[in-house]
Amino acid sequence: MNKTLMFDALREATDEEMLRDPRVFVVGEDVGHYGGSYKVTKGLHAKYGDLRVLDTPIAENSFTGMAIGSAITGLKPIVEGMNMSFLLLAFNQISNNAGMLRYTSGGNFKIPIVIRGPGGVGRQLGAEHSQRLEAYFQAIPGLKIIACSTPYNAKGLLKAAIRDENPVIFFEHVLLYNLQEEIPAEEYVLPLDKAELVREGQDVTIITYSRMRHHVIQATDVLVKEGYDPEVIDLISLKPIDIESIIASIRKTHLVLIVEECMKTAGIGAELIAQINEKSFYELDRPVIRLSSQDLPTPYNGTLEQATVIHPQQIITAVKDLVGTKSKP
């Protein structure tokens, strides 16, 4: 086991897959000599050269379209968005090309592309650099969407995404790059379509993903000391959603709390509630509760910024409201 920072885990995954498969290459702004804004591609340009680590102009629609075209020809591009918000400039390419070409070509084209980069609410990055775009992309047919949350799953999931024959949007939270944990020295690959059962419990199912996983864990540590027994699920796959794992948990707990950084209106939580009501409505003792970010541009002011996202104390309060009073152990 090696203690590894999350940006290093992502770099290791990229390096290992580039070494394993000569079709894999990286494209994006400052990914080459500079090593990426968050150092995920550090050292790769010196190792693989200009043809496999390509610095691009500031033109997301152009280089994303180029990468999709290269995927059609059999290459395996990794597109780094310096900030995932910038990839809105390539929304047409991602939607009309990456998402649809395998279907509209009758299966003649495969689109093995990974589009990855930082997103989420950082620390005073301003509204345009603090967007949560997972719900934007979730509506596009043909895409797989991943939100990594730890160095361990970041590495295993990125390797799987690079090997997949379909387009994968790979979200990394800007505040998790310096998260550190021990990960195996030997190679491992994780499934792209499975949620992770982070903690087993009996009282309530808490569904979360990305940075909010860590807020949920902080809240859970407090709740357990007070006699509560929450079950925690990290979605990981935002599309497709591993609804079977969620249904299995609801059959035990009969209560659901969703904790997300996505906006409340038409967010991931809204989709989760729809699927849960379709498939597990009669298993619920109470309506599903969701804690989501407020529907407004993220303020630059630090205090106001913190007020827009969910914090552990809000999770603790919501669980107590759902479950009721418990006796301390």
The model's pLDDT over 218-230, given as tens digits with 9 standing for 90+, comes to 999 999 999 999 9
Nearest Cα neighbor of 117 from 171, 61, 45, 39 is 171
Say what the pLDDT of residue 123 is: 86
Distance CA 145, CA 309 (A): 22
Question: Over 90: is that where the pLDDT of 235 sits?
Answer: yes
| pTM higher than 0.75 | yes
The phi, psi pair for 201, rounded to 5°, reads: -160, 180
Say what the pLDDT of residue 267 is: 93
Average pLDDT over residues 133-137: 92
Hey, which residues does 25 pair with through a beta bridge?
77
State the first-to-last Cα distance of the chain, in angstroms, to the nearest integer: 35
Question: Over 90: is that where the pLDDT of 126 sits?
Answer: no
Domains of the chain: 2-183 (3.40.50.970), 196-323 (3.40.50.920)
Residues classed as catalytic: 60, 129
Question: Over 90: is that where the pLDDT of 125 sits?
Answer: no
Distance CA 5, CA 109 (A): 36
Q: For residue 326, name the pLDDT band (cuts at 50, 70, 90).
A: confident
Average pLDDT over residues 280-294: 95
Degrees to nearest 5, angle at CA 313 with 312 and 317: 120
CA dihedral 240, 197, 118, 239 (to 10 degrees): 0
Say what the pLDDT of residue 328 is: 66
Average pLDDT over residues 166-193: 96
The model's pLDDT over 41-97, given as tens digits with 9 standing for 90+, comes to 999 999 999 999 999 999 999 999 999 999 999 999 999 998 888 999 999 999 999
Which 3-state string (H, E, C) describes the chain?
A: CEEEEHHHHHHHHHHHHHHHCCCEEEEECCCCCCCCCCCCCCCHHHHHCCCCEEECCCCHHHHHHHHHHHHHCCCEEEEECCCHHHHHHHHHHHHHHHCCHHHHCCCCCCCCCEEEEEECCCCCCCHHHCCCCHHHHHCCCCCEEEECCCHHHHHHHHHHHHHCCCCEEEEEECCCCCCEEEECCCCCCCCCCCCEEEECCCCEEEEECCCHHHHHHHHHHHHHHCCCCEEEEECCEEECCCHHHHHHHHHHHCCEEEEEEEECCCCHHHHHHHHHHHHHHHHCCCCCEEEEECCCCCCCCHHHHHHHCCCHHHHHHHHHHHHCCCCCC
Distance CA 63, CA 55 (A): 10
Contact 188, 16 (CB under 8 A): no
pLDDT cut 70: percent of the chain above it? 99
Six token digits for residue 104: 């509209």
